Amino acid sequence: MGLEEMLPPFFATKLAKLLAWGRKNSLWPMPFGTACCAIELMSTLSSRYDLARFGAEVVRFSPRQSDLLIVGGRVTLKMMPVLQRIYLQMPEPKWVMSMGACASCGGVFDTYTMIQGVDQFIPVDVYVPGCPPRPENMIAALQMLQDQIATGTIQQEIDRRTGIPMVDRKEQLAARAALPVIK
Ligand code: SF4
């Protein structure tokens, strides 16, 4: 983030916290629902469970407008390139939720056509257990993700992925670089 580079460290830290707070409370999901888990996802978004309470109800079907990819359902070998392309088309910072057993580990479908966990191909930030997960599970996972976004641990991971470290991370990197290399 260019603006943070131009600010003194105190303001940059405060700005980073403000940005994290904004990101945490305005996630725009991109659903990638392929099977029964997607029905639970729809239910979570409905008025009964009301994901809008957590600021994540603005579902987009364009990756370029989304920052939270929700993978719900089985993903086959043929579908994985599509999922990867969608992930790559999403702008940074972005997060991925793997919803249900099938997306996380293939579920009961231990076959040659089925991806045994989407995290083998795209980085997953939070997993939702269940077959299918209850809407409450999904809300709990979303809250865990929000906590991580707010504390900045995910931000550091994004810095690592993008190679653009935040100002407050630069000191850590410098300290690490000063350490002797153990051979
Ligand atoms: S985890 Fe269960 S509910 Fe979800 S897609 Fe797989 S079989 Fe369906």
Cβ atoms 167, 4 nearer than 8 A: yes
Instruction: Specify the range with the lowest mean pLDDT, choosing from 36-50, 60-74, 140-154, 156-170.
Output: 156-170
Pocket lining: 100 vs ligand 1, CB cutoff 6 Å: yes
Chain centroid, CA 109 distance in Å: 24
For ligand 1, what atom is nearest to the CA of residue 101?
A: 1
Pocket lining: 131 vs ligand 1, CB cutoff 6 Å: yes
User: pTM for this one?
Assistant: 0.79
- Residue 19 banded pLDDT, cuts 50, 70, 90: confident
According to CATH, what is the number of the domain 27-163?
A: 3.40.50.12280
Mean pLDDT of 101-129: 92
Helix axes 135-151, 9-24, angle to 10 degrees: 170
pLDDT for residue 10 is more than 80: no
Calculate how far, in angstroms, residue 102's C-alpha sits from the geometric centre of ligand 1. 6
Pocket lining: 39 vs ligand 1, CB cutoff 6 Å: no
145 Cβ neighbours under 8 A, 6+ residues apart: 27, 68, 95, 97, 125, 126, 154
Calculate how far, in angstroms, residue 104's C-alpha sits from the geometric centre of ligand 1. 10
Calculate how far, in angstroms, residue 13's C-alpha sits from the geometric centre of ligand 1. 41
pLDDT for residue 183 is more than 50: no
Q: How many residues does the chain have?
A: 183
Pocket lining: 132 vs ligand 1, CB cutoff 6 Å: yes
Instruction: Specify the range with the lowest mean pLDDT, choosing from 62-66, 74-78, 97-101, 151-155.
Output: 151-155
The residue contributing the CA closest to ligand 1 atom 7 is: 131
Give the Cα separation of 125 and 60 in Å (integer). 19
Per-residue pLDDT of 30-89, as tens digits, reads 999 999 999 999 999 999 999 899 988 888 889 999 999 999 999 999 999 999 999 999
Q: Can you say whether the dihedral through the CA atoms of 103, 135, 133, 43 is positive or negative?
A: negative
Residue 98 parent element (H or E): strand 95-99
